[in-house]
Structure 1
Amino acid sequence: MTAIGFHASHEQVHPTALLRAVQRAEQAGFTFGMSSDHFSPWSARQGHSGFAWSWLGAALATTSLPFGVVNAPGQRYHPAVVAQAMATLSSMFPQRLWVALGTGENSNEHITGDAWPRKELRNQRLLECVDVIRRLLDGETVSHDGLVTVDRAVLWTRPDVAPALVGPAVSEATARWVGGWADGLVTVNAEHDTLRRLVDAYREAGGPGPLRLQVHVSWAPTDEEALAIAHDQWRTNVFPPPVCWDLETPEHFDAVGESVEPDAVRGTVLVSSDPGRHAEWLQGFADLGFSEIAVHHVGQEQDAFVDAYGEHVLPQLDVTVPPPVQPARTSVLAGSAP
């Protein structure tokens, strides 16, 4: 059995419409939510970027769904502030929040005016942030001097059960690294052999907890419409690291995306008008061991996608509700960055 979730893409949809969409998704049979956390979109055509943490409070209050959110502490966010945000939501909505902590993208982080660090420094900074966040959630008074600085921080409101701190990874090296500190793994759709290697690397490094997957799809009544939507909205997202990490503005992404042909988007987005094909894709990922799959329709109009999935896709799958969220470990394990 696998939980099938609705991914809320703040870069593409106004937060009011996105809240209505996730409420509609719950009614349609989706069993959890996942949220991006951006300061800017990937393209000027996407045109939005609401504040994820405000939206999460509304989404948790107006649905019964558990939620995950992807966050990059260390530059745009101080880790103590991230810890306070997740502690407050988890206190109000117990065991319904997990947070995937990554190293971020320059397009979001450059707004502070600070330099964009090298990848190895971003990895080290993230590990420091994870340690700070865990210690604060454990009730410690935390001071820390390193790539981030913390002075006598303490969380006065803490949940009985801390949220899970999940490790995002798109390479075997990163999956092996996050296996040393994360409460679970989250990645994005890729070839099955690639995903198997990621999962194996995470587990071999001692990584506990559930396996989660974000799947980019494009559905429309015809294949031509579905491909046109994917090309319009997601052609700026076909570039692998380090390009996607290091570009600074939506204009930069739009510039490099101009040369991307429509069929090239199929390598990143699963494109089809056939609900049966969508069900096959999701079942294939579930068979790999992913217990929670968040589906991201890359179009800006979400209602037709939600209704089509609720009526034609989810009934073909053995969809379940995720178990209550809880951490799988309580301390950061030492590990070298990939």
Structure 2
Amino acid sequence: MKARVLAGLAALAGLLWLPWLLPAYRLDFAADTLALGLLAVSVTVLWGRCDLMSFGQSVFFGIGAYCVAVIGTRSGAVGWLPLLLTVIVPAAVAGVIGYFLLYGGVRRALFAIVTLPLTAIAGSVALAWGDLTNGQTGLYLYPPLELGPGLVFDDSVSRYYLTLAVCVAVCTATVLVLRSRHGRALSAIATNEAKAVSLGIPAPLYLTLAFTAAGAVAGIGGGLYALTTQVTSAELVGLLLATEAVAWAAVGGRGNVYRAVAAVLVVRLLQQVVTAVVPQAWPILLGLFFVGVVLLAPRVTEALRQRRAGVAP
């Protein structure tokens, strides 16, 4: 435990020093990675702690981004309101969807299948609602975030530190919740829902709240991503980003919050290398990786479970 704390503090110190080590465009890449890391966190918590693989988290990520972009382009300013909406709107949408699915008994593989069309629906809405989202062109070059006199995040360094601070705060809060009795209740539901219900745990309520919170986390990441890149398009609610988020969660280990963020950096660096050599190869490799995860993850999980229990595989 002590080693983990020291490693975490060392990693945080390194992240704080990045603006002195990287040029502006690399620093923007680091900020983008941290924002996308929150999307990975929302996936890994649902998948690892609730046994719910969701392909719809990119939808909430994109909603958060559009909250910033739409208000910025329409009002000419980005302040506290869009920041609040990046939490409220994705959480509300996730809460409604989660209520109907989870109270309806949708679980595990069926849950993944049902959430898959959400990206197609959200993408169609983003393209069709051109008056609000600017359709295929998307929204770009909107004003920087301004939270008050002297608090204007209009350069790479300030945007990076803002994203880092929010990412650390959200990840820390997520870890604390997962270690609380609510987090233990979610683990009990994922292990044996029928037994958890018999012990008095309202499983649909806990799972719906978890799905709502995961939507809010993804929405915060989307808002930060929009502020950093200054570009918001329908791709942010699409299937490719949703699949990448599942891949990040798989690389980082299901249920591990901080490793999910680190996995985003590893996979994105690999993506840059692959696309520099063969630009069309990345979606194919991502698809093959996902197929491998689906086929091998249950075996690996069972082997680790037996190892922890001291049972010979």
TM-score (ref. length: structure 1): 0.23
Q: Which structure would you say has the larger RCO, counting Cα contacts within 8 Å and 6 or more residues apart?
A: 2
Higher helix share: 2
Q: Counting strand residues as a fraction of each chain, which structure ranks higher?
A: 1
Q: What TM-score, normalized by structure 2, do the two folds share?
A: 0.24
